[in-house]
Amino acid sequence: MTSKSSIVRILLRLYPAAWRREYGLELEDLLMTRALGPSTVADVAFNALRQRVRHASPATLYGLTVMSVIFLLLTWNIVAPPATGDGLAAVLRDSPMTLPTIAIAPLTSYYYLLLVAAVTSRMASRHDVSPSQSGMDGIRICAIASLPIVMAGVLMLLGILHVEVLRAGQSPTTFAQHGFTYTFYDSGNHEFSPIAVLIAPMFRILESWMWGTIGGAFGRRGRVRESQPAK
Amino acid sequence: MNSSCPVPASSVNRERRGLVWLVGSFVICPCHLPITLAVAATVFSGTAVGAVISGHPYIAGIVISLAWLAGTWRGVYYLRSTATKS
């Protein structure tokens, strides 16, 4: 296999499977007959991204939205740490439970659970999906939304992202003083650990599945009611 | 000789299995680990398992957490395979 054909295959893999099935061969022929310059590669890759967004399910798009919010809050914490442990930017909090020892504030809020239920309900009201598929959509939202937390955990483990643990009465330092550091408020329940940050999203998976299933059940009931003929 | 070929599980069966695994995992979720340990210690009181749970709560906690993780993974695996096949 030539290097050009492998580049073309990689570029085609960037497109969604449904799109590839319909237009994949056509694009492959077109790319094989043309010179593959950086601008062509960039153009094809950018269009692949556009097609990914167009073909993405609402669960993926909402997952990406929550992920962006969590990423912004983490950045906010690093740049301007909150004065108290209750602030919006205090994404990671000391959990009052045995496990997980770290709670991810945006994913434990009622707004997040309502969002999962609302999205899966809307999806089930429009398409014929089973309860388990709605639950899987809930898991997908959680998995995508948790990516910045996993990334932060890995950076903490590698020692790239430092952590400043503050206890009651201590005030945070500024970005100029602490640099690339996450400020964590310790409530005294558990010792802070980067591994706990890394595994914290796993504890949200089952709850996301449950709310996804519940939302899906409501959406399906609405669709069945609408499809019944009026008496 | 009784030779039988394995019957592939239908989509509905896989979905049911997935649901059972996930609901089962909910029961032993480490979020309520102290309750799980207390219930397990009560249920198995007077047996060797009960003695192990009471004597080594940390090991019992780790075992329950690993079982929860494996159960969740198994449930998601079944439900994913259902979604892929449908």
- Expressed as residue numbers, the domain containing B25 is 11-85
Residues of A in contact with B26 (CB under 8 A): 206, 210
Write down the pLDDT at residue A183. 94
Q: Residue B14: its pLDDT value, please? A: 85
Which residues, in sequence order, are CB contacts of A150 under 8 Å at separation 6+?
Answer: A198, A201
Predicted pLDDT of residue A96: 87
pLDDT of residue A48: 93
Which pLDDT value is given to residue A170?
87
Domain assignment present for B39: yes
A48-57, A121-130, A154-163, A222-231: least confidently modelled range: A222-231
pLDDT recorded at residue A4: 84
A83-97, B7-21, B65-79: the lowest-pLDDT one: B7-21
Question: What is the count of structural domains for chain B?
Answer: 1
Q: Is residue B21 part of a domain?
A: yes
Buried b (16+ CB within 10 A) or exposed e, B26-58: bebbbbbbeebbeebbeeeeeeeeeebbeeeee
- Asked whether residue B3 is assigned to any structural domain, the reply reads no
- B24 interfacial to chain A (CB closer than 8 Å): no
Closest-CA residue of A relative to B25 is: A206
pLDDT digits (tens, 9 = 90+) for A142-195: 999 999 999 999 999 999 999 999 987 888 999 999 899 999 999 888 889 999
pLDDT at A67: 96
Q: Does residue B79 sit within a domain? A: yes
Instruction: Give yes or no for residue A75 having a pLDDT over 80.
Output: yes
Residue B69 lies in a domain: yes
Contact across the interface for A206 and B72, Cβ inside 8 Å: yes
Is the pLDDT reported for residue B13 higher than 70?
yes
8 Å CB contact of B79 and A210: no
Asked if B76 is an interface residue toward chain A (Cβ–Cβ < 8 A), one would say yes
Question: Are B19 and A132 inside 8 Å of each other by CB?
Answer: yes
Measured CA to CA, the distance from residue A93 to residue A230 in angstroms comes to: 52
Residue B25 lies in a domain: yes
Q: Are A41 and A8 in contact (CB under 8 A)?
A: no
Cα–Cα dist B29/A203, whole Å: 8
Please report whether residue B1 resides in a domain. no
Average pLDDT over residues A65-84: 94
> 3-class DSSP state for residue B59?
helix
Give the per-residue pLDDT at A181.
Answer: 95
Size of interface A-B (CB pairs under 8 A): 47
pLDDT of residue A79: 95
Residue B62 lies in a domain: yes
Q: Do B22 and A203 lie within an 8 Å CB cutoff?
A: no
